[in-house]
């Protein structure tokens, strides 16, 4: 392990994080709280983060809620406990702030499934279409888009447009297909998907439902159509959380990344939450990108203010326009994360 800060800084691009030894006697929760106060820093975390990170965060939310918070925060430093496109969105929206990501390699398979040069060629073939992109994409894709959406506002945004408006939806074919189905639209879909949500096994979920007939199946719209078809409720992470808290059922099978079970259980301690099983030998449905962030990396990035999200200004301005459009529409439509 590297101990020296300069050595660690030199290796940050290769490793993705500051690899510096931490005094094992430190109470990281206390240290992080101290750093928050000293540096006027705010920790924004997604529900897929490990429980310790969720517990120390100032705000936990879905992609829309996190973007809204990042745009409005008055903290000097935004520590983003999530993946790269989320921290990048925070920087796009609030460029005067220092935005830190505990591990720069915390990417997203869905975002990676849509490289900007290929998408540009696809878009150029359909000049009469506007582009709505799911926020899980790079700044390069955002800059090629007209409106950004998240899983909590995608349907409302699409339905707010004239019925004859031709639309390309990128990059998630599952979310796009779901919106087509519920809104009766025929959007052209980019063929991208999330590795975590695509892996749920319909067969195993069906067996689980048979064993727990009283349990309701809640699913994120990034899941495949076959899983969505048998779901009792479909929504963004925040919407799933609210549903499981308010619904009178006592048990739920949860088809999204397992990190959210922590908040579900905290919000409704007497209820039972079962993670939907994936189609592989291990019983894990963790996002390997989200889970690259750890409490140790969070502490180091706050202490040394690295790794930092830096962006080309021209790209940032181009990527901001469709996000602003989403935030404006969300305001008009009364949508929050």
User: Which residues are near ligand SF4 by CB under 6 A?
Assistant: 83, 108-110, 136, 194-196, 257, 287, 289-290
CB of residue 172 to ligand 13P, shortest distance in Å: 9
Binding-site partner at residue 244 among ligand SF4, ligand 13P, none, CB < 5 to 8 Å by type: none
Which residues on neighbouring strands pair with residue 79, listed in sequence order?
A: 43, 100
Residue closer to ligand SF4, measured from CB, 110 or 141: 110
- The H or E element containing residue 38 is helix 28-39
x/- binding map, residues 160-199, to ligand 13P, per CB under 6 A?
----------------------------------x-----
The per-residue DSSP string of 295-324 comes to HHHHHHHHHHT-SB----HHHHHHHHHHHH
User: CA 303 to CA 153: how far, in whole Å?
Assistant: 36
CB of residue 100 to ligand SF4, shortest distance in Å: 18
Burial class (CB in 10 A: 0-12, 13-18, 19+), 115: middle
Asked if residue 323 lies in contact with residue 57, where contact means CB atoms within 8 angstroms, the answer is no
Among 49, 57, 62, 205, the residue binding ligand 13P under the rule CB under 6 A is: 62
Contact flag: residue 138 with ligand 13P (CB under 6 A): no
CB of residue 95 to ligand SF4, shortest distance in Å: 23
CB of residue 33 to ligand SF4, shortest distance in Å: 27
Of residues 220-249, which lie at the interface with ligand 13P (CB under 6 A)?
220, 222, 236-237
User: CA 43 to CA 24: how far, in whole Å?
Assistant: 23
Binding-site partner at residue 195 among ligand 13P, ligand SF4, none, CB < 5 to 8 Å by type: ligand SF4
Binding-site partner at residue 142 among ligand 13P, ligand SF4, none, CB < 5 to 8 Å by type: none
* Chain centroid offset of residue 226 CA: 22
Which two structure tokens, joined as six digits, stand for 125? 């073939």
Asked if residue 150 lies in contact with residue 134, where contact means CB atoms within 8 angstroms, the answer is yes
CB of residue 124 to ligand SF4, shortest distance in Å: 26
Binding-site partner at residue 170 among ligand SF4, ligand 13P, none, CB < 5 to 8 Å by type: none
Binding-site partner at residue 88 among ligand SF4, ligand 13P, none, CB < 5 to 8 Å by type: none
User: CA 256 to CA 224: how far, in whole Å?
Assistant: 11
Residue closer to ligand SF4, measured from CB, 190 or 303: 190
Among 73, 94, 109, 136, the residue binding ligand 13P under the rule CB under 6 A is: 136
Helix (H, G, I), strand (E, B) or coil at 155: helix
- Closest Cα partner for 32 from 98, 102, 112? 102
Residue closer to ligand 13P, measured from CB, 62 or 198: 62
If phi > 0 it is left, if psi is from -120 to 50 it is alpha, else beta; for residue 31 that is alpha
Residue closer to ligand 13P, measured from CB, 54 or 150: 150
Helix (H, G, I), strand (E, B) or coil at 74: coil
Binding-site partner at residue 109 among ligand 13P, ligand SF4, none, CB < 5 to 8 Å by type: ligand SF4
If phi > 0 it is left, if psi is from -120 to 50 it is alpha, else beta; for residue 43 that is beta
- Residues in contact with ligand 13P by the rule CB under 6 A: 62-63, 136, 150-151, 194, 220, 222, 236-237
């Amino acid at each position: 392990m590297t101990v020296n800060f300069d050595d660690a800084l030199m290796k940050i691009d290769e490793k993705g994080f500051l690899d510096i030894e931490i005094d094992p006697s430190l109470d990281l929760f206390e240290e992080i709280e101290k750093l928050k106060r000293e540096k006027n820093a705010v920790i924004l975390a997604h529900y897929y983060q490990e429980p310790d990170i969720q517990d120390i965060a100032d705000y936990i939310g879905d992609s829309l809620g996190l973007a809204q918070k990042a745009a409005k925060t008055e903290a000097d430093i935004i520590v983003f406990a999530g993946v790269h496109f989320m921290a990048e969105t925070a920087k796009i929206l609030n460029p005067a702030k220092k935005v830190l990501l505990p591990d720069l390699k915390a990417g997203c398979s869905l975002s990676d499934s849509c490289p900007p040069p290929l998408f540009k060629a696809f878009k150029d073939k359909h000049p009469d279409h506007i582009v709505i992109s799911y926020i899980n994409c790079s700044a390069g894709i955002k800059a090629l888009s007209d409106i950004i959406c998240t899983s909590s506002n995608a349907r409302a945004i699409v339905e707010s447009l004239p019925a004859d408006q031709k639309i390309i939806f990128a990059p998630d074919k599952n979310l796009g297909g779901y919106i087509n189905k519920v809104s009766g639209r025929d959007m052209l879909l980019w063929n991208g998907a999330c590795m975590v949500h695509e892996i749920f096994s319909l067969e195993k979920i069906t067996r689980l439902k048979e064993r727990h007939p009283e349990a309701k199946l809640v699913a994120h719209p990034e899941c495949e159509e076959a899983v969505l078809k048998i779901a009792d409720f479909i929504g963004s992470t925040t919407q799933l959380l609210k549903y499981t808290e308010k619904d009178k059922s006592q048990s739920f099978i949860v088809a999204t990344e397992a990190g959210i079970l922590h908040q579900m259980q905290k919000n409704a301690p007497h209820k039972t939450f079962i993670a939907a099983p994936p189609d592989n030998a291990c019983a894990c449905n963790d996002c390997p990108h989200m889970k690259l962030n750890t409490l140790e990396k969070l502490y180091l990035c706050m202490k040394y203010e690295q790794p930092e999200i830096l962006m080309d200004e021209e790209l940032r301005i181009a990527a901001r326009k469709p996000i602003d459009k989403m935030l404006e529409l969300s305001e008009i439509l009364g949508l929050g994360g």
